[in-house]
């Protein structure tokens, strides 16, 4: 552990050596401000993991500034199928990622700045961090009416949300991260931030929608670099440091040994989909000739745990519908891949003149 910290410290020439200090404040030089050069959501989330695991936060805090190419980022305990249209996201080349912290779904793009405040558990203070941001904004644009709310959002003119917050606490470290909408493209959002399929019942953390705004809509001359500079200056002032903004490359395994493993885990199906709290799907499937079937699926760890398809008795035998249900159990809740393979294999024996095929395809469409 210590050698990794030394290696990281050596990367950042110009940061003062830390001196011992009372635990509740840091003396000058005892903070680090980093900016990630990556715009890949998985690399940046992995970078958060790496910093949390490898940097000793008892003596210093770290501020990380980062942004991503378009990505949907869901909270730790959310359901990606309800939060986002996965087919539309794949088509548009938008990544879907699950972060480690709680809270709701956000849409990242290059016009959205993410700030992560890493501290020891003792120094975990989200309101202080948000105050630093509002102070910075008021410094560069005194006309801006920005305020942190009880829900730890930052709002403009009393009601337009420009920042949302989430955090992560572990045994002896913590981080608080938040978004800051500088110039995000909101039109790309609407096509993707809607459920993949209807009829999902779950206890996953829901997202609370609010009207949002970009800083540039209200302060058109505020450049990205100016915003970053103001935030760095205010961070140094608020926390008593003199750290310059240091640019880092999280894809550099030599500087961040082990970060590749975090990237693999964060981009794996098991993390993004397998960690979904259990949920059920209850829906009616429309069939030809004005007939319909009822579908009830239970999904646990992203896999179909149980499935029931009820069909009108004169349409096809219930036993055939049951066979269809049985071949879905144990496979991922996804209309492609193993479920599609299972269904197609079963359909080779279809003697119902196409009705089983129609039913099967309707069931697959109801899956994410």
Considering only residues 241 through 270, tell me which ones interact with other proteins, judged by CB under 8 A: 258, 261-262, 264-265, 267-268, 270
Closer Cβ to other proteins, 17 or 171, answer by number: 171
Stretch that binds other proteins, among 132-140, 188-196, 286-294, 319-327 (CB under 8 A): 319-327
Binding residues among 151-180 for other proteins as defined by CB under 8 A: 152, 165-172
Cβ 57 to other proteins shortest distance, Å: 11
Decide: is 91 part of the binding site for other proteins (CB under 8 A).
Answer: no
Cβ 277 to other proteins shortest distance, Å: 7
Closer Cβ to other proteins, 92 or 261, answer by number: 261
Decide: is 323 part of the binding site for other proteins (CB under 8 A).
Answer: yes
Decide: is 131 part of the binding site for other proteins (CB under 8 A).
Answer: no
Cβ 233 to other proteins shortest distance, Å: 27
Decide: is 342 part of the binding site for other proteins (CB under 8 A).
Answer: yes
Per-residue buried b or exposed e for 266-279, using 16+ beta carbons within 10 Å of the residue's own CB: bbeeebbbebbeeb
Decide: is 349 part of the binding site for other proteins (CB under 8 A).
Answer: yes
Stretch that binds other proteins, among 209-217, 240-248, 282-290, 325-333 (CB under 8 A): 325-333
Binding residues among 175-204 for other proteins as defined by CB under 8 A: 203
Closer Cβ to other proteins, 105 or 243, answer by number: 105
> Cα separations (Å) of 312 from 29, 177, 324?
73, 52, 15
Decide: is 47 part of the binding site for other proteins (CB under 8 A).
Answer: no
Binding residues among 24-43 for other proteins as defined by CB under 8 A: none
């Amino acid at each position: 552990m210590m050698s990794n910290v030394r290696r990281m410290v050596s990367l950042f020439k110009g940061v003062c050596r830390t001196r011992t200090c009372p635990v509740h404040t840091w003396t000058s030089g005892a903070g680090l401000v980093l900016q990630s050069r990556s715009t890949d959501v998985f690399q940046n989330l992995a970078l958060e993991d790496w910093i949390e695991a490898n940097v000793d936060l008892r003596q210093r805090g770290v501020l990380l500034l980062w942004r991503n190419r378009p990505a949907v980022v869901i909270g730790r305990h959310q359901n990606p199928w309800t939060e986002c249209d996965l087919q539309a996201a794949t088509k548009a080349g938008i990544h879907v990622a699950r972060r480690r912290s709680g809270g709701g779904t956000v849409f990242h793009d290059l016009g959205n700045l993410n700030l992560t405040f890493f501290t020891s558990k003792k120094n975990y203070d989200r309101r202080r961090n948000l105050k630093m941001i509002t102070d910075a904004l008021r410094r560069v644009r005194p006309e801006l009416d920005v305020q942190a709310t009880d829900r730890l959002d930052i709002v403009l003119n009393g009601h337009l949300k420009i920042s949302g917050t989430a955090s992560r606490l572990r045994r002896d470290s913590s981080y608080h991260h938040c978004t800051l909408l500088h110039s995000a493209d909101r039109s790309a959002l609407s096509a993707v931030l809607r459920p993949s399929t209807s009829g999902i019942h779950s206890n996953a953390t829901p997202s609370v929608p609010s009207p949002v705004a970009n800083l540039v809509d209200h302060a058109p001359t505020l450049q990205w670099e100016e915003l970053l500079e103001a935030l760095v200056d205010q961070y140094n002032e608020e926390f008593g440091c003199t750290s310059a903004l240091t640019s880092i490359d999280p894809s550099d395994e030599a500087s961040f040994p082990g970060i590749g493993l975090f990237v693999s885990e964060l981009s794996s199906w098991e993390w993004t989909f397998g960690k979904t709290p259990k949920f059920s799907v209850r829906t009616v499937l429309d069939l030809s000739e004005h007939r319909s079937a009822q579908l009830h699926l239970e999904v646990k760890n992203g896999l179909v745990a149980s499935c029931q398809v009820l069909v009108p008795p004169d349409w096809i035998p219930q036993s055939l519908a049951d066979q269809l249900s049985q071949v879905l159990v144990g496979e991922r809740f996804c209309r492609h891949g193993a479920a599609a393979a299972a269904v197609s294999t079963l359909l080779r024996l279809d003697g119902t003149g196409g009705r089983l095929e129609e039913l099967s395809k309707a069931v697959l469409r109801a899956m994410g």
